[in-house]
Structure 1
Amino acid sequence: MLAIIGGSGLTQLATLDLIRREVVRTPYGEPSGALTFGKLCEKPVVFLARHGYGHTIAPHRVNYQANLWALHNAKVDAIISVASVGGIRADLCPGTLVVPDQIIDYTWGRKSTFHESSDEPVVHIDFTEPYDDGIRQRILRAGAAAGEKVFDGGVYAATQGPRLETAAEINRLERDGADVVGMTGMPEAALARELGIPYAAINVVANYAAGRANSTNRICFDEIDLVLREAMGRVRKVLDHICEA
């Protein structure tokens, strides 16, 4: 069963044929909300709104451990994360869909592992390739089938939030090799890897990052809302084609 984690702009799946909602208790506290079970194109899917169904949970306050444990407990066999990002690279303009292949983690203070007990050995995971390439290819094929342009590859910079970055910080991220910037990619991807769940992401460029193009002096939040409303409709088309395949 496929799991979809929805971020800003995707707090529900309009095309999901709802079956049930399930409140899950976890050893790590409360997930962001109930798991929504249903079908997309007759395929079983579970959906979780990362920021809560009312978009009330800030990126640094998301209980990533509880979210991933709840999906693992539901026996999902893959996770697709949908998240809005800022475009650093000039060709990644607002509305662009990106399937990243690398991460740089700038977050701090988040619960980033399930292996924190002093009673168990230290656990290391191989994170050379943070996204599962099989799931990435499924997304890319679905994008082509849906007639939607999807960029293959990119480096996602995970920042702490909830504030957006300064122009100088974006310059630094660019020097570090980042192409897009968001606030929720970590530790979500690492926790999925610890649980052995194949994980990949669809990034939706909501705006140019600070200091870039029409965000040179300020970022217009009204424009972000308009971009996400249109772009998430295209994301839903891609998700439908993933389930049709």
Structure 2
Amino acid sequence: MGRQAHEWIPEVGYVTRLVVLSGTGMDALASDMVADGTESSEIRIDSQWGQVPAILVDTGDGEVLFIDRHHRDDDSRTPPHEIEYRANVHAAASFRPDLILSVNSVGTMREDLPPGMIGVASDVLDLAVRPWTFHDDDAIHADRTSIFDDKGSKICLEALNAGQGETPKLVVAQCVGPQFESPAEIDGLVRLGADVVGMTLGPESRLVAETGIPHAAISCSSNWAAGRTPGDPSAEIDHHAVDAMAATLRTHVRSCIEGLLSNL
């Protein structure tokens, strides 16, 4: 067995300013790091699309800005189709980070990525109808040939390999939600080359590409996609169970954050 995920340290540090965009099951991620004695502060970042609450944590190796993409001023959670992604990514970019790390909950279509594991995104299959851009007044076309930063993705891959074993690279399909997908939709996405499906990485990856800031994404397998549960293709997907499963993966997510920040 590998060492505990949080014990892994990369050969060299990569970033000193990191933004973590997270959601389902990850609301305690910043609190976990603060509990270990790091300095933190709660801030609000203004944008033309609204204020974004965030938690700034100084780990000693670097600064991490945590943004909950589902934030709201009350106790409810913004559903994925109502998230103002421009506000979140604008807030992330205003921190001038070396890297933005997206942490996304996904349904899995791969037998080697069962619920309870994390994969590293290598590409996005986003066929959603709604466009997301910072450039509504001029025709500006951001290149997305290589969506994710090679080195940042490699560091996350190595951290996850050490903590959970062999970690796959993934094509992440974007669906708008808030409903889970149908088995026929999942079958179609698999034929198009998707490995997992989620509701949030597509818009984030498009907007981050427009900022030019390096981007990496890790996909937390929280449930089998519709029709893909081994031995029970009619098994239903329960939102609360998805949340609970995602929450168990915080230690591995933290290993990626520490790997990106740490120096020997």
Please confirm whether the aligned pair reaches a TM-score higher than 0.5, indicating the same fold. Answer: yes
Deviates more, 1:38-47 or 1:186-195: 38-47
Determine the structure 2 residue equivalent to 1:34: 53
Q: Structure 1 segments of 4 or more deviating over 3 A?
A: 220-223
Deviates more, 1:199-208 or 1:88-97: 88-97
Unaligned runs of 5+ in 2: 1-16
User: More relative contact order in 1 or in 2 (CA 8 Å, sep 6+)?
Assistant: 2
Determine the structure 2 residue equivalent to 1:106: 127
Q: 1:40 is matched by which residue type in structure 2?
A: T
Deviations 1:145-202 (A, max 9, x none): x533362411100001000000111011111110000000111111111111111111
Instruction: Give the RMSD, CA atoms, in angstroms.
Output: 1.9
Give the SS at the match of 1:147: helix
Deviations 1:120-153 (A, max 9, x none): 3x11111112111121112123334x53336241
Determine the structure 2 residue equivalent to 1:182: 198
TM score, norm. by length of structure 1: 0.89
Unaligned runs of 5+ in 1: none
Report whether the alignment pairs 1:125 with 2:142. yes
TM score, norm. by length of structure 2: 0.83
Deviations 1:89-130 (A, max 9, x none): 2222101110010111032225x111111xx3x111111121
Q: How does 1:80-91 map to 2 (within 5 A)?
A: 80-91=101-112
- Aligned residues of 2:173 and 2:195 also touching (Cα < 8 A): yes
Q: Distance in 2 between the 1:148 and 1:244 partners?
A: 19
Q: Distance in 2 between the 1:24 and 1:222 partners?
A: 30
Q: How does 1:61-72 map to 2 (within 5 A)?
A: 61-72=82-93
Identity of aligned residues (%): 32
Q: Structure 1 residues 207, 225: closer, same or farther in 2, change over 3 A?
A: same
Residue correspondences, number: 238
Following superposition, the deviation at residue 224 of structure 1 comes to 2.5
Following superposition, the deviation at residue 55 of structure 1 comes to 5.8
Q: Distance in 2 between the 1:39 and 1:90 partners?
A: 38
Q: How does 1:129-144 map to 2 (within 5 A)?
A: 129-144=146-161
Determine the structure 2 residue equivalent to 1:216: 233
Selected match of 2:63 from 44, 48, 64: 44
Q: 1:154 is matched by which residue type in structure 2?
A: L
Q: Structure 1 residues 150, 189: closer, same or farther in 2, change over 3 A?
A: farther
Q: Distance in 2 between the 1:44 and 1:220 partners?
A: 35
Q: Distance in 1 between the 2:192 and 2:79 partners?
A: 25
Selected match of 2:183 from 167, 189, 195: 167
Determine the structure 2 residue equivalent to 1:6: 22
Give the SS at the match of 2:106: strand
Following superposition, the deviation at residue 240 of structure 1 comes to 2.5
